[in-house]
Amino acid sequence: MQRPRSSATWLLLLSCCVCAAAGYPFKPPLDLDVTPRITVLSSGLQGCRRFQSSAVNYSTMLLEADSRHLFVGARGAVFALNASDISSSSALTIEWEASSEQKLQCMLKGKDNKTECYNHIRFLQRFNSTHLYMCGTYAFRPLCAYINEKRFVMSSQPEDGKDKCPYGPTMGYTGLIIDQQMYTASKYSFRGFPDIRRNSPMPALKTEEAPTRWLNEADFVGSALVTESSGSSAGDDDKIYFFFTEKSQEQTTTYSHSRVARVARVCKGDRGGQFTLQKRWTSFLKARLTCSLPEYDFHFNVLRSMFVMPGRTPQETLFYGIFGLEWKNVKASAVCRFSLPEIQQAFQGPYMENQDSGSKWKEYTGKIPDPRPGTCITNALRARGINVSTSLPDDVLDFVRRHPLMSQQVQPLDRRPLLFRRTTDYTHMSVHMIQGLDGQTYHVLYMGTDEGWLHKAVEVEGQLHIIEELQVFEEPQPVNNLRVSAEQMSVYVSSPSGVVQLPLSYCARYTSCYDCIFSRDPHCGWNGARCVDVMSQANRSNLIQDIQHGRTGCENTQDSVVLRSRSVRVGDDVLLQCELSSNLATPLWTLDDSELQGYGLNSGFRTGTDGLLIIEARQDQSGLYTCYAVENSIKVAIVNYNVTIRLDLPPPPPVEPTGDTYNFYATLPPPTWSEKPPPPSPASLLPHSELLSPKNMQAMYLSLITILGGLCLVLTVVLVYVGVCLRVGNRGKYSLRAAAAAYPVNKRHSRSRKQSRSSAHMELKTISSHCNGNGVCNGVSKQHNGNIQEGGFLQIVPGEGHTLPNKEPPPPAPPLPPTPLLSSPVCEFPNGLSATLPSVLRRMNGNSYVLLRQSDSENTSPLCYSFAEELNKILEKRKHTQLLPRPDESSV
Ligand SMILES: *[C@@H]1O[C@H](CO)[C@@H](O)[C@H](O)[C@H]1NC(C)=O
Ligand SMILES: *[C@@H]1O[C@H](CO)[C@@H](O)[C@H](O)[C@H]1NC(C)=O
Ligand SMILES: *[C@@H]1O[C@H](CO)[C@@H](O)[C@H](O)[C@H]1NC(C)=O
Ligand SMILES: *[C@@H]1O[C@H](CO)[C@@H](O)[C@H](O)[C@H]1NC(C)=O
Ligand SMILES: *[C@@H]1O[C@H](CO)[C@@H](O)[C@H](O)[C@H]1NC(C)=O
């Protein structure tokens, strides 16, 4: 069955190539690919505490419910941090670096002396009430040691750890200490096979390798004890579950995969067999975990992390898994949640078998020996005199040995992922349970990404709403581990460079009632004046919260709205800035309380997510403009502008294009939007904001990409065309490097809104297309921070980066290319531009959903994006054209 596999692979590879260029060819249900509501950059993070030391590679963390300490294992050291404030100076350290002799040995073995030839702490857990136990790779010679918790010192000489700990820092590994016995799963030796082990003093047990190998290149990510014995009427045993990805054995009819996600389990009381399966598990069984979007034939086969959420009873245990794709070059994650009963059911179901020791596994339909192979010792067996696994009959054990794999696959709850994200690779997750003010229990997920971000999401009826994305580490780096502490109200995130402690919520971030309830954060409630942490309030009866819908409760609150004034001249282009803090909001503008209809060129208005542009202002456009953020179908006023358009001066002379690139926009024949009115967008929240419909946003982006690409070419054409008023010697050259450097700053501004305000960015106050006859734009004034420009010319003003609404977006969008683009977005990026534009777009909010969003088809995105951001880039370029003329270097 190689052929179906390779053709499927090809298909997917092909898809991936296309994806890389233009977004995925398949469309997932919108409600699964969730956009984080708020983006917070590291500069805007509040209440976060950091721990850093000379050590790197912080990976293992041990945090106990009532403990004052957070124990962290890094490379060559273990730390006991003050859990309430990890940055406090009270941190205790055990330094445990590999000896130089062992490092040399490691190098001689050909290992990487930059990563592998160190002592990476891979295991750190409680051993008994006074001692912890840890294992380190010790430069390819694993060692383990006890830690005296109180004194925080190693309490004995390190002992051999090669049966308990892998050799390298990246080898998949999981382990538990249960009743002072260590259960670990990894590939321990350099050439050996992966193995699930229990170490002495109880009989040490392993998995079987012959005739049937129980594990196939397994990569372990997690393990958990579920105390199924408690409250079991059948006298069941506790079980240990292991989670991993391994090479697939089974062949199904529809498709095949090279790797699959698995759950395996063993019984705690297992003692191995008497003759058959001596020193091997008699209770090892494994089943496939599926996490897929079947309607797109898309299967997440790689399990990256598993969080086990204890329930009130063991039967209510939930398993939250982060899954990824097999193709390493494609970023995507899915979160699937499994219940214990469904896993148990798979282990109760039919077995698979491998009859002719070929590679095909099929469901076993023959007779199953009694007692059922692979079960734990229960009362029923005890009644038959089988008290321990060594008493199990040989035929049962022989069957177990040859049938480790179950036929039934474990489906996630709701039969589909809770979350699907393109362009994000989640690495770790932790789940916190909290009761909402509505009395319901909510699960809040904290998920770390491979780029150092933390996503916080709440699950509502099988859907995840991502409340926020936080840039925890400024330098992109994978989140190595995550722990949530309800006692400390903190989430701890470890990475190669350090550990960060964040509050579970930061409600003060939400400044209005609507902001507070739109967040749908179970930790936050509006108390009439502020958004407060629910847990910190003794009296919660007056708090407003709407986790279910993020809509109701603020009807009677009045938020004061900022009023600004703008006074400009007829014919000017005016930008009214309005930044929306939520990525889920769309802007809506009114003029004297009536909605602005049709934001097309002929209407004289254009809008993006960060502002409204009045093009060539007319006197009748004076009035009170209000910007609303529309979210969850609710209009919230953000800012008012009192705009006066005066006729002080005679109307500007006909535009005489010059070498200034700005004019080029004003004078290009306008293939206006109104010429080709966009079809109404079904997904649009507000039918009247036509230009905000996804299709148009898509069109805008596509246009922008094309425009950017053709910019040089078009410039040339235009410059030749308008050469009359052009002196070649006067023209500037793009300072591309400078523009590129300035661009991400601008991006961050507009995406992160208030969080990041640099003082260096440029502000464009009012815009005009007036140029004087000799081809030089006048009115490049230097210092008018926040003032209304009298001249009405193109004015680029170094901003002082203060309050929110002072940054003005750039000039009008360049004209759109012909609309046929819309019909085939997938083919739009073959000209090499994709390499530049999307990579920039990706940086907009760190986790880069914008890039792929832009090619979503018309009815998949309720969002709209700022064309102003793209134009900012152009503006930045032009700024350098004007401010840094380098006539001799003109390349245009
Ligand atoms: C350890 O940290 C260094 C520097 O932060 C990083 O380059 C390296 O990839 C990390 N290694 C592992 C195994 O995490
Ligand atoms: C831990 O930090 C908290 C808050 O800073 C402080 O009150 C406490 O004394 C510290 N504990 C230790 C053991 O240093
Ligand atoms: C690793 O080994 C190379 C030579 O094999 C040496 O040049 C380098 O300094 C070593 N690096 C470290 C960190 O020891
Ligand atoms: C815990 O284990 C350590 C190491 O084996 C031992 O020295 C210590 O006495 C034990 N403590 C208790 C309370 O049993
Ligand atoms: C099984 O255990 C029970 C009590 O725990 C004991 O009475 C009985 O003799 C044991 N049977 C065997 C076969 O060991």
Report pLDDT digits (tens) over 146-197. Answer: 999 999 999 989 999 989 999 999 999 999 999 999 999 999 987 889 999 9
3-state secondary structure 777-803: CCCCCCCCCCCCCCCCCCCEEECCCCC
Distance CA 803, CA 791 (A): 24
Q: What's the average model confidence in pLDDT over 654-674?
A: 32
CATH class of the domain defined by 217-423? mainly beta
Distance CA 606, CA 813 (A): 8
- Would you kindly state where each structural domain of the chain is located, as residue ranges? 2-29+722-742+761-805+816-878, 217-423, 562-651
Task: Specify the pLDDT at position 49.
Answer: 96
- Number of the ligand 3 atom closest to the C-alpha atom of 103: 14
3-state secondary structure 723-745: HHHCCHHHCCCCCHHHHHHHHHH
Best CA proximity match to 732, nearest among 587, 887, 623: 887
465 membership: H or E segment, kind and range: strand 463-471
pLDDT digits (tens, 9 = 90+) for 503-546: 999 999 999 999 999 999 999 999 999 999 999 999 899 999 99
Q: What's the average model confidence in pLDDT over 545-573?
A: 88
Q: Using an 8 Å Cβ cutoff, are 355 and 362 in contact?
A: yes
**Cβ neighbours of 380 (radius 10 Å):** 13
Ligand 3 geometric centre to CA of 111 (Å): 11
Task: Specify the pLDDT at position 573.
Answer: 85
Best CA proximity match to 260, nearest among 299, 227, 230, 232: 299
Residue owning the nearest CA to atom 8 of ligand 3: 113
What is the identity of the amino acid at 878? R
Q: What's the average model confidence in pLDDT over 482-511?
A: 95
Is 385 close to ligand 5, i.e. is its CB under 6 Å away? Answer: yes
**Mutational pocket test of ligand 4: of 130, 154, 155, the residue with most ligand atoms within 8 Å of the beta carbon:** 130
Q: Which tokens is 106 given?
A: 């490691």
Beta strands at 524-526 and 481-485: parallel, antiparallel or unpaired: unpaired
Is 383 close to ligand 5, i.e. is its CB under 6 Å away? Answer: no
Task: Specify the pLDDT at position 820.
Answer: 28
Best CA proximity match to 848, nearest among 435, 361, 455: 455
Ligand 4 geometric centre to CA of 177 (Å): 14
- Number of the ligand 1 atom closest to the C-alpha atom of 477: 5
- How many Å is the Cα radius of gyration of the chain? 31
Is 87 close to ligand 2, i.e. is its CB under 6 Å away? Answer: no
Is 156 close to ligand 2, i.e. is its CB under 6 Å away? Answer: no
Distance CA 390, CA 500 (A): 48
Contacts of 519 (CB under 8 A, 6+ apart): 37, 38, 467, 468, 510, 531, 550
Order of strands across the sheet that contains 453-460? 38-40, 463-471, 453-460, 441-449, 426-435
Q: What's the average model confidence in pLDDT over 327-335?
A: 89
Contacts of 10 (CB under 8 A, 6+ apart): none
Task: Specify the pLDDT at position 359.
Answer: 64
Is 278 close to ligand 2, i.e. is its CB under 6 Å away? Answer: no
Residue owning the nearest CA to atom 12 of ligand 2: 82
Residue owning the nearest CA to atom 14 of ligand 2: 90
Q: Which ligand is nearest to the CA of 478?
A: 1
- Number of the ligand 5 atom closest to the C-alpha atom of 382: 1
Q: What is the pTM of this model?
A: 0.74
Contacts of 841 (CB under 8 A, 6+ apart): 848, 850, 851, 854
Is 366 close to ligand 5, i.e. is its CB under 6 Å away? Answer: no
Best CA proximity match to 322, nearest among 450, 433, 202: 450
**Mutational pocket test of ligand 1: of 54, 115, 474, the residue with most ligand atoms within 8 Å of the beta carbon:** 115
Ligand 2 geometric centre to CA of 597 (Å): 59
Is 296 close to ligand 4, i.e. is its CB under 6 Å away? Answer: no
Beta strands at 121-126 and 131-136: parallel, antiparallel or unpaired: antiparallel
Distance CA 242, CA 240 (A): 7
What is the band of 704 on the pLDDT scale with cuts at 50, 70, 90?
A: low
**217-423 against 562-651: fold identical:** no
Q: Which ligand is nearest to the CA of 154?
A: 4
Q: What is the DSSP string of 247-258?
A: E--B--SS---S
Q: What's the average model confidence in pLDDT over 413-420?
A: 92
Best CA proximity match to 211, nearest among 453, 457, 403: 403
Q: Which residues line ligand 1 (CB under 6 A)?
A: 56-57, 115, 169-170, 496-497
Task: Specify the pLDDT at position 28.
Answer: 46
Order of strands across the sheet that contains 611-614? 605-608, 611-614, 573-577, 766-767
Is 85 close to ligand 2, i.e. is its CB under 6 Å away? Answer: yes
**Mutational pocket test of ligand 5: of 387, 390, 391, 392, the residue with most ligand atoms within 8 Å of the beta carbon:** 387
Best CA proximity match to 23, nearest among 854, 819, 836: 854
Is 292 close to ligand 2, i.e. is its CB under 6 Å away? Answer: no
**Cβ neighbours of 480 (radius 10 Å):** 20
- Distances in Å between the Cα of 308 and the Cα atoms of 134, 223, 659 are 22, 8, 64
Q: Which ligand is nearest to the CA of 168?
A: 1
- Number of the ligand 4 atom closest to the C-alpha atom of 128: 1
Residue with the larger pLDDT of the pair 448 and 707: 448
- Number of the ligand 3 atom closest to the C-alpha atom of 114: 13
Q: What's the average model confidence in pLDDT over 681-703?
A: 42
pLDDT digits (tens, 9 = 90+) for 615-633: 888 888 899 999 999 999 9
Ligand 2 geometric centre to CA of 468 (Å): 29
> Chain centroid to CA 284: how far?
35
- Number of the ligand 2 atom closest to the C-alpha atom of 82: 1
Task: Specify the pLDDT at position 356.
Answer: 66
Whether the pLDDT of residue 717 is over 70: the answer is no
Ligand 1 geometric centre to CA of 331 (Å): 20
CATH class of the domain defined by 562-651? mainly beta
Ligand 2 geometric centre to CA of 2 (Å): 61
DSSP reduced 3-state for 283: coil
Ligand 1 geometric centre to CA of 228 (Å): 39
Q: Which tokens is 574 given?
A: 């005016």
Phi first, then psi, for residue 849 (nearest 5°) are -80, -15
Best CA proximity match to 554, nearest among 517, 602, 591, 502: 517
Best CA proximity match to 361, nearest among 301, 409, 411: 409
- Number of the ligand 2 atom closest to the C-alpha atom of 90: 14
Residue with the larger pLDDT of the pair 470 and 586: 470
